[in-house]
Structure 1
Amino acid sequence: MKKLIINSSRSIEIFTQIQKCVQGELREDWGESVLTFDTTVGKGSLRTIGFNWGVSLIDCNITLTEEIELVFETQDLAPIEFIFISKGYFDYSENNTDSYTRLEQFQNTIISHKRDAEKTFLFPKNETLKVNFIRINRKEYLQKKNNNISQLNQLLVSLFNDSKGEATFKHGGSFSLRIADEIKLLNDVGSNSGMLRSLSLEGRLYLILSLQLLEHKNFEENMNLPEAISKEDILKIHKLTTYILEHISDNISIATLSGESGLSPKKLQLGFKILYSKTVNEYVRQLKLEISKDYLKNSDLSVSEIVYAIGIRSRSYFSKIFFEAYDILPTEYRKHLKNKNSSLN
């Protein structure tokens, strides 16, 4: 096991110290710092970007060849960290104890440790880990106008107002595929540089943060996942979303999805309702509409061809549900896009 001591809570200083351990390349571009490595320690990339009011993002996509114990020894006021793992797992402990808490895939986690306490992350070997940390420096964030901290529940209000770092906080909440989907969109933000990229990342980041805060609120109000939905069920539903995307031109029925996943139709409906706030049919229809918008914008396919490509039964029905969703007909939407693009030339 390799042990690395971190003596700063600032993201860029953390990256500099990690770089020495993994012997990677650290570069900066448009306010983002990216550390990439492919060495005897493992391979992968870490990215950090800071925003106003003490909000920053760290995301990691790494596979290690040996366990790494990351120990934070700092007298800085610890940030509040909103953690979400899209793939893999790692362990967490406070005060250098042998008692670890496992942070799992798709689980919403919020932590903040005492000012004088050690924080330890134990990253496993031979396990691909994709994880996002949204970090909030509470002193800076409280200076933000209309920060609306008072609208949070009492636990989080006291945490944000703990300017001396006297309290420890750990929330291992419910599992969420909605947050996983939004993080995928965050990581897929295009290659635009400068202001466009920064605004896109910031917008996505705040949406994810709001979903994590909402999950915490629901968890505290005992609105978390019922016992009927297990982690294994969640993983099956997550796999189904890929199946739906790959078979979007088919007539996707609940019976088909039930057979593909091994989940009963009742459990399938319950899972989609909890994880996506939609029935199975609502989820499939929304995905078909989003794909159709992309076709209308980025392809030369006719509306009839698009209807066939997304597996809708008729052009008139497609126009009807498209209008209900977006308040514009498909043909008018494409015309609007063409007029908009021509005015920019």
Structure 2
Amino acid sequence: MTILDAPYLLMGIMFATTAIINLRDSSNAKRWKSAGFWGINAIIFIFGSYLPPLANGILVIVMVLLAGLGGLGRSGKPETSLEQREVRASRFGNRLFILALLIPLVTLLGTFAFKSLTWNSALLIPAGSSALAALGLGIIVAFFAALVMLHETPASAMHEGRGLLDAICGVAIAGQGTLAIELLQQDAHLDRIFVPVGGGGLAAGVAVLIKHLMPQIKIIGVEAEESAWLAAALQAGAAVDLPRGGLFAEGVAVRRIGDETFRLCSDYLDDVVTVDSDSICAAVKDLFEDVQAIAEPSGTLALAGMKRYIQQQHGIRDERLAHVLSGANVNFHGLPMSRSAASWASSARR
């Protein structure tokens, strides 16, 4: 094992701890399968470099089967409530972002420092790998700094982290949810974030992470009127199958919202707004005129929703708003129609 294996070892230890916590949690009806999922994750991260490729591939397939066939469950024990998280967030305020900034700061400084770090006249960190080693060090520093600042113990941090992992256990949800971290790193003073909703993975991932880190920020889901599966599911109380919606915003034109993503969206989204095709076309035009970027209709869905939400008089004054631009697979032949619809919508509002 080399120093470059340290970040993977740390992740493996975290996943192994999550597996043990799941296994000991009798309130989780699927604790054995959940423990198996996180245990396999731990094996891959800790021992993956020593295993043959075929073994790693089999382990990944087992993980996919466990997750895809509904083998992952959630603890029945009460989590930290949204109100409690809001109280803690307001108590620490922007100091929480000291922790978030520690990781890139230590990574930056460590990258330069490790390039000249030697032992017996040999480089301690192989050339080209200093950034990865520095990232691992940054994670360790930020973790212990968080324990000191928040007056927490490692055990309580792991239990709270387990709840977050349970919430975003779907690979797609967790991957897309990293967008929330990037948003907060760019602007830590946001008041509302508008996120497009199709199958719900992006909205669920962003909402879960934001509500765990900065619960005072409002998360608004945006749907196309012709593909408003989330609104229909919220009305029915469960994910429902509907006739195929319109294909204008084809990036969000799914048959139904996912069961798990619906549960997370209903728990964590603050509101949902729907927009028509004309509003989406107007957003495509606005984006091009403002930043000279061309996005597909579903890509500008959140911008159209943000404009609609403001027009609906939600008492938005002096707030910092963000919308997620989620796609740029532009159909060139559809641009004239978007331009015409945007012009018509603009003249109709005058």
Q: Shared fold by TM > 0.5?
A: no
Q: Give the helix-richer structure, 1 or 2.
A: 2
Could you tell me the TM-score, scaled by structure 2's length?
0.29
Q: Give the strand-richer structure, 1 or 2.
A: 1
Could you tell me the TM-score, scaled by structure 1's length?
0.29
